[in-house]
Amino acid sequence: MAGNPRIGILSLQGDVREHEHVLQGLGADTLRVRRPAELVEVDALVIPGGESTVIDKLSRSFGLQEPIRQAIRDGMPMLGTCAGLIMLADALTDAAEGQQTFGGLDVRVQRNAFGRQTESFEVALIVPALGAQPVRAAFIRGPVITAVGPGASTLAALPDGRVVAVEQGPLIGISFHPEITGETRFHERLLDSVTSR
């Protein structure tokens, strides 16, 4: 690959700027993706947190749902945080009426599993694949992963056993927001899967 990896950030809704900041700090070039022509320009895609029902609807009206599903089938590395995890899940609990996902992760995800916005919290989370130093994980109306199918593997669980991070080949899905606590290792892992592709 010539030059820096070019990482797209799905920019229909959600915390796009925080991801740009982390990725640029790691030396990647970033591109905001709102249309299919932009998706073909990138080596990987971040699906940010926000509101999955809105990201779903806008991705369909911008003609991005099928191109993103095809990119997943083609093995494009992707990182989904919070609503982004919901978008990458094959199955949802507590989906809104008619809500669709891109799929790709062989998991079932329960939306809003931690209650309301006011019940947001931060924890130090051990993610063995990222080393001994715990991750500072901010949960903001996050989902939990209630079932992990044979295709996916668990990256992290809370002390009570609830799974909050999974991986399946080049796809990473996490319930929380590493981009707002200065945590860069998930984005580094995404960049690694671009360079090893």
Instruction: State which of positions 131-150 bind ligand GLN (CB under 6 A).
Output: 140-142
Taking the complex as a whole, the smallest distance from the CB of residue 58 to ligand GLN amounts, in Å, to: 12
Is residue 94 within 8 A of residue 110, CB to CB? The reply is: yes
Residue with token string 């989902």: 143
Which one, 83 or 157, has the nearer CB to ligand GLN? 83
Which one, 8 or 143, has the nearer CB to ligand GLN? 143
Taking the complex as a whole, the smallest distance from the CB of residue 126 to ligand GLN amounts, in Å, to: 22
Say how many CA atoms lie within 13 Å of 197 toward its Cβ: 19
Say how many CA atoms lie within 13 Å of 179 toward its Cβ: 28
Which one, 141 or 189, has the nearer CB to ligand GLN? 141
**Please, where are the H alpha helices in 31-171?**
36-39, 52-61, 65-73, 83-88
Instruction: State which of positions 153-192 bind ligand GLN (CB under 6 A).
Output: none
Alpha carbon separation from 178 to 25, 171, 175 (Å, rounded): 14, 16, 10
Any idea which residues carry the catalytic annotation? 82, 177, 179
Q: How is residue 137 written in tokens?
A: 């994980």
- Residues 10-49, mask of contacts with ligand GLN (x by CB under 6 A): ---------------------------------------x
DSSP state of 128: G
Which one, 43 or 179, has the nearer CB to ligand GLN? 179
Residues at the contact surface with ligand GLN, assessed by CB under 6 A = 49-52, 82-83, 86, 111-112, 140-142
